[in-house]
Structure 1
Amino acid sequence: MDTRTPIPASQQPLAMSSRQNTSASAGLQVLRTAIGATCYFVFYFVQQMAELFAPLLLIAGAAWAALPALVKTLTRTTASADPQAHDAIASVANAIPEQIVLAGHELTASGLICDGLGLMAVAAAGATLAMLVGRKL
């Protein structure tokens, strides 16, 4: 009968195959961390850019949509006061475009507002994805 006490697994010498398995596992962990950090960077960068441009597009679109209504109101109020002012304001009202073509892209007031809202959704998605990737790191 063998009276020796068994050696716990933590104190036993490592075999060659377990050392290779440990180094491969460490290499995969480093690769996983690098991929996660890159994804976190991309998501956070997209979120920051969307948060920067969304309010600008919303404000520009809302101002562009409100400007013709404001000018028409001024035209009605100045119609009886001064005919020259009425003509000047009417020419300004006619000069406000409904759409602008810039580098082949058609910009409208409602399009800018929709783009701003879309960027807000992209910012929210970027924040969510960055948070999820951050938890996994």
Structure 2
Amino acid sequence: MDASRDSLSARRTSHSADARGNLQRWLPLVRIAIWSVVYFAFYMAQQIAELLAPLALILGVGWAALPHVVGAVSSSAGSVDAQAHDVMSHIADAIPHQIVVGTHVLTPSGLIFDGIALMAVAAIGATLSAIAARSM
């Protein structure tokens, strides 16, 4: 009776040791897979932010400056020709202050803010990608 009990206990011990061995073998692979997904997400966010940030910032600054530039040109053209002044003032009035696309309202200051916010997202993404790469 003791021999069969010892044999059964030895089998249970070896089975639990095999299960722990399998878990220890798979745990690093699961950890690497999770960190790879996290690294991918941060790096993808960084790349998209780095692509869109300068576009939004330049469009916002250009759109904000355009009425002032056209106004300066129209005032200098007004001293030369009254008809040119009328055309330039009409063009300056045609520049919209906001554009509505679906439910989104685009403004020059909004684009500038979005460009700066996307730069911050790119910096955070780069930092978190570096941390994730070190953790792998």
State TM-score, norm by structure 2.
0.86
**Aligned counterparts of 1:26 and 1:74: Cα–Cα separation in 2:** 73
1:67 aligned partner, one-letter code = L
Q: How far off is 1:19 after superposition? A: 3.6
Give the CA RMSD over aligned residues.
1.1
Counterpart position of 1:125: 124
The answer to whether residue 107 in structure 2 is matched with residue 114 in structure 1 is: no
Task: Provide, for residues 96-134 of structure 1, a one-character-per-residue CA deviation record: whole Å limited to 9, x for no partner.
Answer: 011110111110000000000000000111111111010
Q: How far off is 1:83 after superposition? A: 1.0
**Aligned counterparts of 2:101 and 2:56: Cα–Cα separation in 1:** 15
Q: Structure 1 regions of 5+ residues with no counterpart?
A: 1-14
Matched residues, number: 123
Counterpart position of 1:39: 38
1:128 aligned partner, one-letter code = T
Matches within 5 A, 1:50-65: 50-65=49-64
Instruction: Extract structure 1 runs of 4+ deviating beyond 4 A.
Output: none
Counterpart position of 1:7: none
Q: How far off is 1:69 after superposition? A: 0.6
**Matched residue of 1:79: which SS?**
helix
Q: How far off is 1:63 after superposition? A: 0.2
2:108 aligned partner, one-letter code = A
1:50 aligned partner, one-letter code = A
Counterpart position of 1:30: 29
**Aligned counterparts of 2:102 and 2:25: Cα–Cα separation in 1:** 50
**Aligned counterparts of 2:87 and 2:25: Cα–Cα separation in 1:** 75
Q: How far off is 1:18 after superposition? A: 3.6
Q: Structure 2 regions of 5+ residues with no counterpart?
A: 1-12
Counterpart position of 1:49: 48
